[in-house]
């Protein structure tokens, strides 16, 4: 399958690092979100011929719908797992719904409201009051942890809460002493609940001493030359250790991300002298080449973390030539005049990528539409915060506040450049039509209107081109040959 140049270029530049990838459809909407230990290997696997033609129908449907993709590089697979889940909840991509069995990682669930709680394997946290542990990136690790807590703490495995006498007579778990049998009073409800609470503590990674018991059992079996039993215990110990580490890493990564961002917002508000911490921050950046294909990108963060559904793009309409301050003013004016008309909530802080001229232009635009938002500029050279009537502010290099504001500025820069490059590459591709002598402006507009995009036009066969009203066989041949086809008539 022949992929567009923008996809081929991105595939060549993919990093061999963990992260999240976002697949986009024809309209630019996100249709699938996934995480990977290696973005290079995972994303490239979608674009191989074997995936295009021999994959299952749902996967083929996804692959053939992809027109572009973006990646977000992260520090670890655990962080990628957290980010993937958050983005899926925000965007609800169509194909993540179709593949929901693939992308819901296993959890262990305990409903403490039941008379005799049990530990169950599930894939969806229903938010029904039950306690969930996970997600576990390995199903084997989750099942090993489930088996261990059931046997070690005597947690029941039967389905009914109180089996009748006939059913109980055939309870194998009680016969082989794997269950504490609270249903017939072998242990009191209070003692059974204490067992469940200890199991929960273990699953939270708070009781690693129990893994030492598995090691002791393994060594004992090995000394008795029961090598199969020792191997099974060794595998269980490995999987349990992995489960506890994964759980601890996911909790630590998520807590660190949210805590650092929250502290950064608090520090930033104090440094800028704001009455309250800026929970909602919006940041603008401009991208253009000598004034051509000029665009602005706006990104947003809530409590210091990016919220992609609040991002906005602006195609600059009123500024000619290279004049970044006026472009910034146009984008700010359009954003907040519309927000004012719609009765929306304004951000707590506005950040402009640039120095004093960009900041003054943005403030003038806000004053023009009668909107007051605390605003600062962020100059790249020394990461100085520009405040117009006050001296520049330099935050400590290791401060969470600087990390929050610079990461948001970098995200705005990436977002604006991505939009600029998309427009520029689209224009470069479409310029191929301008080189065909028989194609004027009206026929070019006719062709693009008929096929919907240059990519579809390029894939069109000779017969399809002939079927376009106003395009005869000779003109169709010129177009087909110019776009890479070979035919003689």
The enclosing domain of 473 has a CATH number of 1.10.150.20
The pLDDT score that the predictor gives to residue 144 is: 74
Residues 136 and 247: beta-carbon distance below 8 Å? yes
Number of C-alpha atoms within 13 angstroms, CB side, residue 126?
9
The pLDDT score that the predictor gives to residue 55 is: 67
Give the contacts of 87 (CB within 8 A, at least 6 positions apart): 20, 22, 33, 308
3-state secondary structure of 206: coil
Residues 99 and 219 in one domain: no
* Domain-located, residue 258: no
DSSP bridge pairs for 385: 378, 393
Residues 296 and 346 in one domain: yes
Residues 327 and 240 in one domain: no
* Domain-located, residue 261: no
Q: Residues in the chain with pLDDT < 50?
A: 98-103, 161-166, 169-170, 175-176, 428, 486-489
Q: How many helices (H) and strands (E) does the chain have?
A: 20, 13
- The number of domains in the chain is 4
Residues 365 and 442 in one domain: no
Range of the domain at 379: 280-425
* Domain-located, residue 489: no
**Which domain-ending residue is among 53, 71, 103?**
103
What is the residue whose two structure tokens read 């910034």?
328
The pLDDT score that the predictor gives to residue 330 is: 95
* Domain-located, residue 226: yes
* 433 C-beta neighbours (distance < 10 Å), count: 20
- Residue ranges with strand state E in 322-363: 349-353
The enclosing domain of 69 has a CATH number of 3.40.1440.10
Residues 397 and 440 in one domain: no
The enclosing domain of 343 has a CATH number of 3.30.420.340
Residues 54 and 81 in one domain: yes
**Which domain-ending residue is among 252, 272, 299?**
252
**Which domain-ending residue is among 252, 270, 293?**
252
Residues 19 and 134 in one domain: no
The pLDDT score that the predictor gives to residue 489 is: 35
The pLDDT score that the predictor gives to residue 267 is: 93
Residues 401 and 320 in one domain: yes
* Domain-located, residue 475: yes
Residues 24 and 34: beta-carbon distance below 8 Å? no
Residues 163 and 96 in one domain: no
* Domain-located, residue 453: yes
The pLDDT score that the predictor gives to residue 26 is: 79
The pLDDT score that the predictor gives to residue 40 is: 92
* Domain-located, residue 132: yes
Residues 99 and 112 in one domain: no
The pLDDT score that the predictor gives to residue 419 is: 85
Please write the tens of the pLDDT for every residue from 42-78.
999 888 876 666 667 778 888 888 888 988 888 777 6
What is the residue whose two structure tokens read 């129990």?
210
Residues 221 and 122 in one domain: yes
Residue 8, classified by CB atoms within 10 Å of its CB into exposed (0-12), middle (13-18) or buried (19+), is exposed
Residues 23 and 45 in one domain: yes
* Domain-located, residue 488: no
């Amino acid at each position: 399958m022949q992929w567009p140049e923008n996809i081929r270029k991105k595939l060549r530049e993919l990093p061999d690092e963990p992260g999240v990838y976002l697949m986009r459809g024809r309209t630019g909407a996100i249709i699938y979100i996934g995480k990977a230990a290696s973005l290079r290997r995972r994303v490239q696997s979608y674009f191989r011929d074997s995936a295009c033609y021999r994959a299952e129908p749902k996967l083929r449907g996804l692959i053939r719908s992809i027109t572009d993709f973006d990646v977000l590089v992260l520090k670890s697979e655990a962080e990628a797992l957290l980010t993937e889940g958050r983005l899926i909840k925000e965007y609800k991509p169509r194909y993540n719904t179709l593949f929901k069995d693939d992308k819901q990682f296993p959890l262990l669930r305990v409903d403490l409201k039941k008379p005799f709680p049990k530990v169950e394997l599930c894939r969806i946290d229903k938010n029904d009051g039950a306690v969930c542990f996970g997600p576990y990136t390995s199903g084997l690790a989750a099942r090993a942890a489930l088996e261990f807590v059931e046997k070690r703490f005597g947690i029941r495995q039967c389905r009914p809460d109180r089996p009748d006498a006939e059913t109980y007579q055939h309870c194998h778990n009680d016969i082989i002493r794997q269950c504490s049998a609270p249903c017939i009073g072998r242990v009191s409800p209070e003692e059974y609940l204490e067992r469940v609470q200890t199991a929960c503590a273990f699953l939270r990674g708070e009781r690693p001493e129990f893994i030492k018991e598995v090691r002791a059992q393994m060594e004992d079996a090995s000394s008795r030359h029961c090598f199969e039993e020792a191997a099974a215990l060794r595998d269980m110990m490995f999987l349990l250790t992995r489960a506890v580490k994964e759980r601890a890493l996911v909790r630590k990564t998520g807590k660190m991300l949210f805590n650092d961002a929250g502290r950064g917002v608090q520090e930033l508000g104090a440094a800028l002298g704001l009455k309250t911490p800026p929970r909602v921050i919006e940041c603008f950046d401009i991208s253009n080449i000598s004034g051509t294909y000029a665009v602005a990108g706006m990104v947003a963060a809530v409590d210091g973390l990016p919220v992609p559904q609040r991002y906005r793009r602006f195609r600059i309409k009123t500024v000619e030539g290279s004049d970044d301050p006026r472009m910034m003013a146009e984008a700010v004016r359009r954003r907040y005049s519309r927000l004012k008309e719609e009765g929306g909530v304004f951000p707590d802080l506005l950040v402009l990528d640039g120095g004093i001229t960009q900041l003054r232009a943005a403030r003038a635009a806000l004053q023009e539409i009668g909107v007051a938002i605390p605003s600062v500029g962020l100059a790249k050279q020394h990461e100085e915060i520009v405040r117009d009537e006050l001296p520049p502010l330099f935050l400590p290099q290791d401060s969470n506040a600087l990390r929050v504001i610079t990461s948001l500025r970098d995200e705005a820069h990436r977002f604006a450049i991505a939009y600029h490059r998309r427009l520029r590459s689209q224009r470069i591709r479409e310029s191929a039509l301008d080189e065909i002598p028989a194609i004027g402006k009206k026929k070019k507009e006719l062709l693009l209107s008929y096929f919907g995009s240059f990519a579809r036009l390029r894939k069109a066969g000779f017969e399809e081109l002939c079927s376009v009203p106003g395009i005869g066989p000779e003109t169709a041949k010129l177009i087909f040959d110019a776009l890479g086809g070979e035919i003689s008539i």
